Amino acid sequence: MSKSFESGRGEIFSDVDVVVIALSMKVWYLVLAGSGKAILICEEPLNTRSGDGTSR
């Protein structure tokens, strides 16, 4: 039972971790890329995700 609980919690945590890492990476990309090019790169994936969220 303990293992089942850990597995379930691990999956949820993994999802959150992935989102946090993705957001962190995007912020780093913004800082590393600069500002002009980063905005264009960040806007593309953001738009795709926004559409997915609205669809849901």
How many domains, in total, are found in the chain? 1
Report d(CA 56, CA 2) in Å as an integer. 33
The domain in which residue 37 lies consists of: 2-55
The length of the chain is 56
What's the pTM value of the predicted model, to 2 decimals?
A: 0.26
pLDDT tens digits, 13-47: 567 777 777 777 777 666 666 655 545 554 555 55
Residue 42 CB coordination number (10 Å): 15
The answer to whether residues 29 and 38 touch, using CB atoms and an 8 Å cutoff, is yes
